[in-house]
Each structure stands twice: as structure tokens, then as C-alpha cells.
Structure 1
Amino acid sequence: MILPRLFVRNLLLAACLFATPTMVAAQTYLDEDFQDGDANGWQSDARKGKIGLTTYAGNISLKMTRDAYAIRKLEDISSPRVRISAVFAAEKLEGDDACILEASPDGAQWFEIGRVEDGQDDAVTLHPVTQVLDIESAHLYLGARIKGNASNDTCWVDNISVVGMRRVADLPTSLDPDVLWAGQVAVAPVSMQAFAPPTEPLAPLRSLSGTLRFSASQATGFELLEDAFNYAPTADRLNHLPAIEMGFVHDGTDLIPVQRGPRPSDHPDWEWIIEPGVIWRRVNGHVRASLPFALQERNANCLHNGVLTFEIGPDGQTSDMVYQIGSETCAYLQFNLWGSAPITVDLGPLPDSDATLRAYREEVSRRLPTRPLSELSFRDQLGHSTEVTPEAMTALGYVKNGTHFTAPCPTRFGDYPFCDVLDLPSYSWAKSMIAGVASMRLEKLYPGAMDALISDYVPACRDWKDVTFQHALDMATGYYASDVYDEDEASEGSRQFFIADSHEQKIDLACTLYDRRSAPGETFVYHTTDTYLLGTAITAFLREKTGRAEADIFDDLIRPLWDALGTSPVVRQTRRTYDDVGQVFTGWGLTLHRDDIAKIAAFLHDGGRIKGKPMLDPDMLSDALQKRVRPVGLRAVIDNQRYKNGFWAWNAGLSLGCEADLYVPAMSGYGGLTLALIPNGHTYYYISDGHAFAWARAAKASHGDTPFCEISS
């Protein structure tokens, strides 16, 4: 779990924030988490089972057994469309037993929203169910029930919500010229189609390279959709965009920012990422520019994706900039934002324009070939609604035989028009992509390096005498407070670690948060602090071995690999502490494009080779990818899951009908990021933020396409 810094902001700022009339919460008709300890408003019937509230680890949910149900009536619904969602955990389901969420306009005719079935009933995993419905009346019935036939058939339901939404079909598909040119306020969001170029854009007739300047500005509209940690009362500039100065060049219809990747700002919450877009001639003689962008949370990994557009007239006059955000990968903070603001554009040649053009042309030329995901015969099993909430989806893809099959990137205002450069967070994928890969590279360059002691390279951990680099990579240091999954990671001390700006603060917490509980190498306990310690130790190790004071885990071990693979500029940098140390976060903090995901996965599938040359320690990579006769790694959370060298592995053998255990390696990231390195050489991934991590359907579909039960080292 990775928590950001916003929740520590001063509560005294609340009055200032809520005085802003444009910041409103989305219309929420139900937000039921049962934490008040009652189920008021719900009519329940236990029938032959039992129903009632139950508490586990401080969380209260509604427990139902056998055939119990609960119904609630909602009144005064004014939205034309609502998103209905909940999460279920289940136990002892068999056959056609199921936990079911359903809705009805009249209490008689019911429509299923979603269900959890046999195979999803480990009593631990929370499975989201959701659906968007058009509403014809002002009231709605909502029902949660269990379809079972035995007293031990059990469902827990929680986090039930009904939220009003717009219909994309009702949104304007073009921008009002007065919003661009006459200073008219953008009073409502529009379809993402309004920001998209025509199918065959015409290139400008003259060079339009130059510099755009934008002063910090409050958004015209801001709708808060999700605020799990109650940030809104404490973040006074959440609905303000930072100032920016951006050089850009164009190559035909391609419009390329000179500076790529996250851009530091003095804004307390946000940092810009501007991506390449399109510039084209319009029939009225104007030139329109459209650029994808993201707001990345300061000192964190959340990304809120949007598009900005402006026009340049024949005389060089510039319109206002219009912008809109309608999607994110951020489980705890979600919003719609839109507005317009004056900008200045100074046209003229830039000193580094030729290098910018060459780099971008190479970037595009080295992308993997793509095809629509719909061309796969098993497309309906990928990103299935029983495994990941459609409304929470940001990106979905599958790589097979060198071809990258991709799905559209949905937003609340229609499909994102620049999916190839949509900015995606790594969260804890970085534990594999940075910590895991860097460790394998280190061991390749310096055999035996992973046996080095943390205490020798991190002075603040001087008491960790027998904890090795390998132990930290495996999250088996023996230092923890609780071995119950996520208790340490969700603790107050862990939160303080994440929000700390400086390396000194982070490393002090990482070394002192926990006491010694077991011998190193015995017990897996999920700690991002362990991965941060490892990154710190590896950097110190490199500086000792090379004699270079600037040696760095990312710049020396990771970036050369990404450069050779032809990845995008955004993944060739990473989040660091904000002090002079600039320590790599190691366990989170990458920004990716979907092509980067496909390339890095292909590199791992290929044995960590570049141009045929192995770049990683082969034994460590084999262990991470479970290419041994027996599974490798410590038990991780549940019996059929392992963790080794920064990678998870799930035993898919039983689910696939294999004769023996078959552990499939995977990466997992906070909020709903999953990447499976399937043994048949294929890669399946999705990036979402609805706390979903399941991928058994996709594994079965991949096995049906190219069987891998018998594949081994």
C-alpha cells in the first residue's frame, strides 16, 4: 500500500477550499461502508441463513450466509446514469453458489450488477463488482444477497456505492469557439473527441515551434469523485494547475515537448508531465494544437490524465488554453477537472529542436507493432468484469509473439485520444522493475554482491548485522511488527515514511520502525521500507566499487538497460527524494507508457538479454520467473503464492487443470496494477485503480491459446 502526502496538510485550510464554488463532490446517492456499526436503511431477511455486521481488523462489513439478502431503496435520484459498485469476499462457495449485487427500478424486476463465484472464495481477497446503469426514474432498489445451499456458504459485502454520472453520448463533441477566443468560461466538460485531431490531420504550412507559458490558475470546474483519505479539506490548491513554461517543436503534425517526464514545480500538490500530441490546420485558417498531459502527485505516484488544446491564428495570435481531466490511476483520489486560461506562445526556433525531433522519431520507430485487442479470439476473457472493474480501468494489453494487442483507454468523457503516450504509474511494479532488475544486474557485474550486509552500507541500520541485500529484496529481513499482510504497510509509521520528503527522514524510519522478530530469510512481510533500504544500500555499494561519488542504482544499473531497449523518456527517470541526496524510491515511482510495459516484459521473457547478450544474473532471473523444478520463494500472504527477487508468483496449476503445481510470475502494484509473465512467452497486464488484482480468467484464456502446463526450465 502506498500512501501520499496530501492527508497531512493543515486542516485550517478547509474554509478557504470550500469557499470555492467550483469544487463540488459528485452526486453520491449511497456510500455504505458500515463503519458506523449499523445497517440502518437496509431491509434484510436471513431466510435459512444468517445476516449481520461483522468486524475484522477494524473493518466492519455485512456478512451473509446460505441464502440471506438485504435490500435498500434510494430516493430522489436526479442523474441520468449511475455507477453502482461494491466489494465482496467469499468463503466455501461451491457449484453455482454466488455473492450477488443487483438493482431494480421497482423492487420486482432485478438486474444483476455483478457476482463472485466458486474459485473467488479464499475469504481474503476483495472482489469488486460494478456496473453503470441508465436511470429512468427518481428511485432505485439495491440488493445484496448470497445464493447458497449450506450454512457455511458465506459472503461479506462492503463499500457499496451509487454515484451519479454523465452520459458520454450527451457531451458536446466540439469546443465552443468563444471558450477559445472570447474568454468565455468553460462551464461543463466536453467529450474527449473535442480534443482529438481529425482522422487525417493537415500539417501547418509554416514552422510553429516555440515556447508556451501558462501562469498557475484555478480550474473552472472540479468534481470530487473519490477522496478516501479526506484530502479535500486539507489541500488548498487541489483544483489549481501549476504554472509551466514549455518549449515545443513540430514535425509535420506531431507536436513534441522539448522536456519530457515529470517537471518539478512549486505547487504543493501537483507536477506536470506533458506528452507529444498533434498540431493541424483548420479550415478557418487557424492551427489547432492538442497535447496530452498528466498531473502527478508531488512525492507520490498518482497520475491524473488530461488533454489541453489551444489555437494559433494566421497573425500569430494565441487563443486561451482549454484543458480537461477525466481519468486517473489513483485509488484514493479521483476527480473531474476542466477549465480555460490565458496563455502566451512565443514562436521561433529553439536551440535543441533538432535533437528533440531525432529522439522522438527514434522513440516512435522503436515501438512494438500494435493491433487491436479485439483481434484476439479470447479478448472477452481479458480485463473481465469479474476480475477488474471496467470503470476503474486505465490501460489493458496483451503481448504475443512480438505484437502488442491493446485496448482503448477509457475516461469518464470518452476514450482518451492519445493512448500511446498515456502516462501510467508503476507503484510497486518498481519493486520488480527497479529493485529486482537492478539486483540481478548488480549480481551479474559483481558476483556475490547480494550477500553483502545492509548494515555495512546503510549506517542508520547499524543493528541489522546479519541482514543481506538478498533478504531486503525478498522482504524477509526479520524486522517487522506484524506478519499479517498489510498491517505494517498500512501503519502510521509507514505513512510517515511515504510522506517524508528527505532521504534522512525516510532512511531513519526504514531502519527503526520495526524490531527484530525472526531470523532473516524466514518470514515474508510486505514492506516498501525494505525495498527503499535496498536501493540505498546498492547505491552505496556502487560508489564503493566504482569510486564514483555520483554512482546510482537507477542511473548505473537501470537506465542503460532502458536506453538499449528503446523505452520512452518518461520511464528513463524515476521519483527521488526532494533533498540534495535525491535517493531513488526504488519500490515505487516510475512513470510508464504502455509500450514500455511491453518492452520490459519482453526483455525478462528473453532471459534479460539485449542483442543476445545476457545483462542479468541468470540464476536470480530464473528464480524470479519460477523456472525451477520446484517453486522458489517464501510463502506470500496465501499458500499458493510466493515472492522472490521482487516478483510475485501464483500457483495456476490447479486452476488450469495441470497435473502439477505451476507458478506464474507476476508484478503487482497498489490500487489495481497486474502484469503476468505467462510461461508461454505471452504477457498480460492491466492498470486500474479499483483494488482488483485477479487474472485467473486471463491465464486460462492464454493457456487455451498456447498451452503451457508442460513448459519448464
Structure 2
Amino acid sequence: MKQNRIIDSMRFNMNPLEKYSWLIAVFVALVLSGMTPASARVVFEDDFQDGNADGWAGNAGRGDLRLTTFAGNVSVRLTRDASIVRRIEVNESSTLDVSVDIAATGLEKNDICKVEVSTDAKNWQLLGVIGDGKDDGTTLHNVRGSIDAEKGIEYLLVGLRVDGNAENDICWFDNINVTSQLDFGLLQHELPHAVYWSSENISGAFSTAVFETQKNAGIPKKNYSGTLNLKGGPVEHFEVYNDAFEYYPENPSIKTLPSLSISFVQNGSAVIPVTRGAIKSDHPDWEWIIEPGNIWLRDDGEVQISLPFALMERNANCVHNGLLTFRINQKGQTSSAIYQIGAETCAYLQFDLWGTTSVDYAVHEVEQFRSINDAYTEELSARLETKPIENLPNAKEYGASDEVAPSSMTLYGYVDGPTHYVGGCETRFGSYPFCDVMDVPSYSWAKSLVGGVGLMRLEKIYPNVKNALVSDYVPACTTDDWAGVRFEDLLDMASGVYNSDVYDEDESSAEMRAFFVAPSHTEKIEIACKGFARQQEPGKRFVYRTADTYILGVAMNAFLRVKTEDIEADFYDDLIVPIWNQLGLSPLVNKTRRTYDHERQPFTGWGLVLHRNDIALISNFLQRGGRIEGEPVLDEEMLSAAFQQNPDDRGLPAVIDEQRYQNGFWAWNAGPSLRCEGDEWIPAMSGYGGLSAAFMPNGSTYYYISDGYAFAWRRAAIASNKQKPFCEGTE
């Protein structure tokens, strides 16, 4: 390959086809992403989002090569016979997986976009191609393959090329990933006794099997309700894979654990934490979430307790899932605790950690014993029946690896009435043993579930509150910029107050970053109300701004306090939590992220933590029109509009014509993809990094939690329509 330098950060005016291509790919859930196993370690990745192609070398040939960008998405565009290559240093002896996303247009006959790899710069292996028939200019197709990397291989070359004969033969390349597969068989499946009871260090990562209940284990004869105390401090092993904001170098405290003191109640083989949800701490980075775990009597006479936990980023919504276990001997002494994190839902900070730490478990009576046990029994009874998602017809279309990379997937499922088909729940060290209580973040699903449900509930109780003026209830928003802005305008993200109407520019601006990191309500509301200017009349244009949803939460709190004459009224605790409790959701959802001051203002636009059964129960609730025991608890008109049941009220165009935003919910016109006779709008929730929930018109819901920036569920929509048709004219 003759090589010359790619021009970094080249910008150009894209033609309409190019604009359409990338908007569809990013925002209309047609993105197809690469396949790498959840156990993979990232060796190399490049999505060109930094606006340059450092490290790549290329040859324009008779064509052209450049970076293109639109709506925040950057990719490499090659035409005719242009090519680029990247040398990747490799220090691996396991199998390497290579994944590349490709979109194309103008390909005919023998024209192809192709990916090649080489380990010696002489012999090239064709990894994959796309050609005529896959060049609609709208769909990203994934090309992937594996290379057996023997010891001694120094580097891997990845080549991207167009084999065309005309300038209109165009290939876009994006999301290049090289990962190394971890062999679970090489992991430790049982840790030596000395690791628990002496200062012996852990030699490396270990399998999640270490945390599973021992086969043929018994239940301890005595009750082990009591309190766990963990001192916290530095972890033994910490390895960062992705730190997009370069947070770690400036904040080494992220490789330390907070201290912890938490009580448990034993219920048979279960140990249930008295405190559920995020536990406030003085740690600058992390807060613990402890979930119900298992207790068993080992065959050596010791009692072992295994707990699922998560570290949630302070003042944010990233969740890193882990496991912790320790033993209690016959003298009542507590061993060291073994802990490990190898999974997360966090697009910008990903790491593995493991080690041991000293703990003390004091057995004693717990006052809340009966109430905690009763609540846990109710929690279990509210869980829908689960079945493997493989039991579904067309099962491969749900959680498809060419829509969402398995390495990015946390959980996914398909909710069909009383049955919850489940998949995912993998970590980099094996399957998570506690899938039912694996913690996942909501991110912007909260715009639907807190902002949307909150205003719909308020509207049900106090009709026409949706038309109340923000300036009457939020003192910081009383300038002329906010004149005439209604509560519902905020929910629609159509306040008319913004600095840029280009998608994501306001959301990723310096002002919004300051808004997100501000710990107090005073700081947040000052930025939200005064950091942006009036551009047009409210209710006319959708501009994605989390600040609008935050202001809505402030306004709803103020309105509720006026109406109830209660200065401590809280719209989340008083209006939404009772709905969650009636639905049987986990105690986890009774909390939401709040400001760290006396106001404790709910974030409204992000900040929930959920279990997969919570997602299923909420989905069914919304699909049945917001009814509980047949009675609507939400405003029916608002929910009907959000769920696209009123053809005269689709909502505002959201970035492109095929997409709408209405009352906190997105919607996509799936009619063309499903080959319906007319439009078929599917409402959805979308969350930062790769969270999607699609509410199919047949009453089912497909969802997934991931963190690889993929928002793809077209295949699931097609499969659901085949299973229970909801549009006419399907071929």
C-alpha cells in the first residue's frame, strides 16, 4: 500500500445524501455495530470523534479521503480507490477480534468497500466486504473477523479500502475496534483458602464463578442478620480501558473504594441490605449500591456471603457493576473480602478492578427484620416470569450483535405481557450471578419516566398545569427569555431558549458541562435559566437540552408546594414513587439523583437506577395507558400523544422528519422499514451512551442497556411485527 498522510480534521459541506446517511445512522436506530464478546479487552478503538485521524496513513489514489462530520458523528470517507491503514501494537497471545462499521453509496457490480488485516505487512487477510445492494447510503453494516494471534506478533495492520471505478463510489468507515478475547478457562474459578484468611495477594482476575453459591451448599442453622463494616481505601488492581474525558489522570481517587457500613437481614439463603439504592458518602467519586445477595454454609463449616454491588459515579449516572464475597468461620471471625468489577454501563469511563480488603461482619438482631423481609417477599412476588430470549421466534433479531456490540451490552429483553424474555448480563469475567438485581442507569430515560410521568401525573390531578408558565414558579427563569414558556414546552424540549439549534451543540457545550457537574441546585438552576438565550417563540422547535427537563422538575416542585401548601412537597416522592410502589418496583427506584444541598432537587432528566424487572413493569404500565387496576393514573391525552396514538398530534420533528419528540418520548416512523402501507410511528425512550426502549404498537416492548453509542432496534421492530403484526401491507 502506497501511503501518505491523511489530512486531519478536514471539514466540508456534505451533499444531502451524506447528511441523510449519517442522521439516519445516528438517530433513527439503523446503526449496525460490531461484534466483540463481553469478555473482550480493548486493544485499539477509533471512532474519529476527536476530529482527527492521528496514526492513520492513506493513499487517495484517483479518489479522495477525508474526515466528514455531521450532528456530532465523525467518520472517514473514501472514494473510488482510496485507502487508509493503521499499525496497531499488539502484545497479545489470544484471539484478536476486529470490527469495522461501513456505510456506502454508488456501488455497482464489482465495486466494494473492504477491510483487510495483516500481521507482517506482506500477507493480507480479507476480513470482509460490502458491495452493491448494501449501499443505500443509510445503513451502517458491520464487518468483523478474528485473527489467531500467536506469541511474538508485534503488530496488526488494519487496512480500509474502496475498490471502485468512479468518484461516486463512496465508503464511510467508522467504529474500528480491535479486542482480545479473554479465555474464561484460564481464570481462577475457586480462590485458595489463604486468600481469604491471610495477606496472600490475588495473582490476577478471577471468574464470576468465585461468587456463586457452592454446589450442595446448605443454609446456616443460626441467623446471620447483622452489620458489615468496610474501611475502604486503595484497590489492589485497577486497569482503565476507556477514559474519554481523561478524568483518571487528574483524579486518582477513582481507584479507591469508599468506606461502607450497612446492615443486612437474612431470609433463608438470601441476605437483604437494609439500605437500598445509592448510599451517600464523602468519597469524591463513588457511592455504593448494595443489592440482595446469597449466604450459604460451606462444606468446610465456614459461612460465605456473596453480594452484588455497584459503584455509581457521584453526582452522575454511570454504574459499574461488581461482586464482593467474604467468609465467617466457626469462631465468628470475618475473613478479608474479595471484590471485583468487570462490567459497567458507562460510555466514557470503563475499567476492571479487583483485590481484597479488610471487613468486619457483626452478627446481631436487626430492628427492621420483619419489615425488610416482608418487603423483599413482595419484591420477589412482583417479578414477571422470565424466559431466555432464545425462546422467542426470530430470537436472533433481539440483542443482535450487528446492531449492538456484545462488548457494549449490559442487559436486553423483550416484554410480552406477563412474560419477560431476557438476555445479556455478561461481564468481562463471566456471567453475572445476580442478573435480577444487576444495577443499570436510566440516563435520559428519566426524561420520560420522571419528567414525562411526573407532568402527566400532575396534569391528572391538576388539569391544565401543563400550560402553567415557568416564570411564575421558577424565580431564576423570570427574564424576558422565558416569557410565555409553559411546563409542556420544557417537557417537549421546545422552550425556544438555546444557543444553538444544531443537534447536541448545546448539550455538549461548556455551559452544559458546568451544569452537569454543579453539585448544588443554586448553581444548576442559574446555569439552566441564564446560560442560554431566547432564539424563537416557545413550542416551535425541538432542541435537545437536559437543562430544560431540569427546570421542569423545579417548576413541578414549586407548583405542587403552592397547591398543597406544603413547603416540603416533592413531586418525585409524592407523585411518582406511589405509582412505582403500586406497580411493585424494587426499592431501588424509590430514589433518584438529587442535588447535594438542602434543596435535594431531583435531576428529572437523568439519575434513576433500575433492575431489569423494573423496566419490564414500567413498560407494561405505559403500554396499558398508564392504568393501575384499570384506572388511569396519568393524563390520558398526554400519554396518548406521547405514544403516537393521535395522528393529528405527532409532536415536533426531532433532528429529522422520520423522528418526533413528544412529552418526553421519542418516536420513529418505522413504516418504510417494515414496508407498511402507511406510516407506523413507534414511541421510544433513549438514553445516553446506548439505552433504548421501543414500545411496539402490538403492546410488547423491546429494550436494551448498553454503552457503545448504538441506538439500533430496527431488526427487533421487524421481528416483533412478524410475531404480532401491527402494520398492514407487510411483505
Establish whether TM, by shorter chain, passes 0.5: yes
- Identify if the C-alpha distance between structure 1 residues 254 and 84 changes in structure 2 by more than 3 Å, giving closer, same or farther: same
What is the Cα deviation at residue 216 of structure 1? 1.7
- Distance apart, 1:209 and its partner CA: 1.1
Q: CA deviation at 1:51?
A: 2.4
Change in 2 beyond 3 A, CA 1:32/1:658: closer
2:593 counterpart residue number: 575
1:363 equivalent in alignment to 2:379: yes
Contact (CA 8 Å) 2:411, 2:424: kept in 1 or not?
yes
- Residue 362 of structure 2 aligns to which amino acid in structure 1? D
Question: What SS is found at the alignment partner of 1:694?
Answer: coil
The residue correspondences of 1:562-711 to structure 2 (distance < 5 A) are 562-630=580-648, 632-710=650-728
The residue aligned with 1:306 is 322
Q: Cα 1:95–1:691, aligned 2, differ >3 Å: closer, same or farther?
A: farther
Query: By how many angstroms is 1:130 displaced?
Result: 6.4
Shift of 1:482: 1.1
For residues 354-374 of structure 1, the C-alpha deviation after alignment (integer angstroms, 9 at most, x for no partner) is 111111111011101100111
- In the TM superposition, residue 710 of structure 1 has moved relative to its aligned partner by 4.4
Q: Is the 8 A contact 1:128 1:692 kept in 2?
A: no
> The residue matched to 1:238 in structure 2 has which SS?
helix
CA gap 1:523/1:118 in 2 versus in 1, 3 angstroms:
farther
- Quick check: 1:431 aligned with 2:454? no
Q: Secondary structure at the match of 1:407?
A: strand
Partner of 1:222: 238
> Is the Cα contact below 8 Å between 2:409 and 2:424 reproduced in 1?
no
CA distance in 2, matches of 1:335, 1:524: 36
The answer to whether structure 1 residue 70 and structure 2 residue 84 are counterparts is yes
In structure 1, what is the Cα distance between the partners aligned to 2:436 and 2:232? 28
Corresponding position: 1:261 with 2:272: no
Q: CA deviation at 1:313?
A: 0.8
Give the 3-state SS of the residue equivalent to 2:725 in structure 1.
coil
1:537 corresponds to which residue? Answer: 555
Range 149-158 or range 324-333, more displaced: 149-158
Q: Check whether the contact 1:34–1:62 (CA below 8 A) recurs between aligned residues.
A: no
Bigger drift between 90-99 and 76-85 goes to: 90-99
Which consecutive residues of structure 2, in runs of 5 or more, have no partner in the other structure? 1-40
Contact preservation (8 Å) 1:635, 1:642? yes
SS state at 2:552 partner:
helix
Aligned to 1:321: 337
Structure 1 pair 561–102 and aligned structure 2 pair: CA distance change class (3 A): farther
2:519 is equivalent to residue 501 of structure 1:
yes
Alpha-carbon shift at residue 350 of structure 1 (Å): 1.0
Within a 5 Å distance, the mapping from 1:102-113 to structure 2 comes to: 102-105=116-119, 107-112=123-128
Unaligned runs of 5+ in 1: 1-25
Contact 1:94 1:118 in 2 (8 A): no
Evaluate the alpha carbon distance shift between residue 372 and residue 453 of structure 1 in structure 2; reply closer, same or farther with a 3 A threshold. same
Deviations 1:632-690 (A, max 9, x none): 10000111000000000000000000010111000000000000000011110010000
The 1:506/1:39 distance shift into structure 2, 3 A limit, reads closer
Q: 1 CA distance for matches of 2:170 and 2:188?
A: 46
> In the TM superposition, what are the counterparts of 1:179-198 in structure 2 within 5 Å?
179-198=195-214
The answer for the alignment partner of 2:94 in structure 1 is: 80
SS at match of 1:427: coil
CA distance in 1, matches of 2:677, 2:383: 38
Q: Which amino acid aligns with 2:669?
A: N
Kept in 2, the 8 Å contact 1:104–1:111? The answer is no
8 Å Cα contact 1:35-1:59 kept in structure 2: no
- Whole-angstrom CA distance in 2 between matches of 1:467 and 1:29: 47
Q: 1:707 to 1:171 in 2, by over 3 A?
A: same
Decide whether the 8 Å contact of 1:84 with 1:160 is kept in 2.
yes
**Letter matched to residue 441 of structure 1:** R
Amino acid in the other structure paired with 1:173 = H
2:77 partner letter = K
How much does 1:50 deviate? 2.9
* 2:268 counterpart residue number: 252
Which residue of structure 2 aligns with residue 447 of structure 1? 463
Write out aligned runs for 1:174-213 (5 A).
174-198=190-214, 201-213=217-229
2:485·2:495 contact (CA, 8 Å) conserved in 1?
yes
Shift of 1:92: 6.2
Q: 2:173 aligns with which of 157, 161, 169?
A: 157
CA contact (8 A) 1:81 1:167 kept: no
> RMSD of the TM alignment (CA)?
2.6
TM-score, structure 1 length as denominator?
0.91
Alignment counterpart, residue 420 of structure 1, candidates 436, 440, 443: 436
> Which residue in 1 is equivalent to 2:367?
351
- The aligned residue for residue 571 of structure 2 is 553
- What SS does the corresponding residue of 1:230 show, helix, strand or coil? coil
1:133 positional shift = 5.6
Read off the aligned partner of 2:201 and give its amino acid letter. Answer: V
Read off the aligned partner of 1:42 and give its amino acid letter: A
Tell me the distance in 1 between the aligned counterparts of 2:360 and 2:600.
Answer: 33
| Structure 1 pair 168–643 and aligned structure 2 pair: CA distance change class (3 A) | same
Q: Distance in 2 between matches of 1:117 and 1:332?
A: 35
Do structure 1's residue 143 and structure 2's residue 159 form an aligned pair?
Answer: yes
Tell me the amino acid that sits aligned with residue 231 of structure 2.
Answer: S
What SS does the corresponding residue of 1:531 show, helix, strand or coil? helix
Report if the CA contact (8 A) 1:115-1:129 is conserved: no
TM-score (norm 2): 0.88
Task: Give the match's secondary structure for 2:550.
Answer: helix
Shift of 1:148: 6.4
Which deviations, in whole Å up to 9, do the C-alpha atoms of 1:591-633 show, x marking residues without a partner? 0000000000100001100011110111101100001234610
CA contact (8 A) 1:126 1:692 kept: no
Aligned counterparts of 2:133 and 2:251: Cα–Cα separation in 1: 41
User: 1:15: which partner in 2?
Assistant: none
Query: Which residue is 1:7 aligned to?
Result: none
Matched residue SS, 2:253: coil
Q: Deviations over 1:82-101 (max 9, x none)?
A: 45445556566799987554
Query: Number of paired residues?
Result: 683
